Amino acid sequence: MNIIQAQNYDQLSKIGAAVIAGQILAKPDSILGLATGSTPEGTYKELVSLHRQNVLDFGKVSSFNLDEYYGIKRSDPQSYYAFMYRHLFSHVNIPGENIRLPNGEAQDADAECKAYEKLIAASGGIDLQLLGIGANGHIGFNEPGDVFPAVTHHVSLSESTIIANSRFYSSREEVPRSALTMGIGTIMAAKRILLLVSGAAKKSIMEQALYGPVTPNVPASVLQFHRDVTVVYDF
Residue 63 lies near ligand PGA (rule: CB under 6 A): no
Distance CA 149, CA 188 (A): 11
2-10, 33-41, 68-76, 221-229 -> range binding ligand PGA (CB under 6 A): 33-41
Q: Of 138, 63, 128, nearest to 94 (Cα)?
A: 63
Residue pair 212/221 in contact by the 8 Å Cβ criterion? yes
Catalytic residue from among 46, 65, 67, 165? 67
Neighbours of 138 (CB within 10 A): 26
Distance CA 37, CA 44 (A): 11
Residue pair 34/65 in contact by the 8 Å Cβ criterion? yes
Residue 38 lies near ligand PGA (rule: CB under 6 A): yes
Residue pair 214/137 in contact by the 8 Å Cβ criterion? no
10-18, 84-92, 132-140, 227-235 -> range binding ligand PGA (CB under 6 A): 132-140
Q: What track of x and - describes contact with ligand PGA for positions 87 through 126 (by CB under 6 A)?
A: ----------------------------------------
Cβ closest to ligand PGA, residue 39 vs residue 221? 39
> How many Cα atoms are found within 13 Å in the side-chain-facing hemisphere of 148?
18
Indicate if 136 belongs to the active site: yes
21-29, 37-45, 84-92, 144-152 -> range binding ligand PGA (CB under 6 A): 37-45
Distance CA 163, CA 165 (A): 6
Q: Which of 42, 102, 132, 149 binds ligand PGA (CB under 6 A)?
A: 132
Residue pair 198/12 in contact by the 8 Å Cβ criterion? yes
Output the smallest distance, CB 38 to ligand PGA, in A.
4
Cβ closest to ligand PGA, residue 5 vs residue 38? 38
Indicate if 98 belongs to the active site: no
Indicate if 165 belongs to the active site: no
Chain residues that interact with ligand PGA, rule: CB under 6 A: 37-39, 132-134
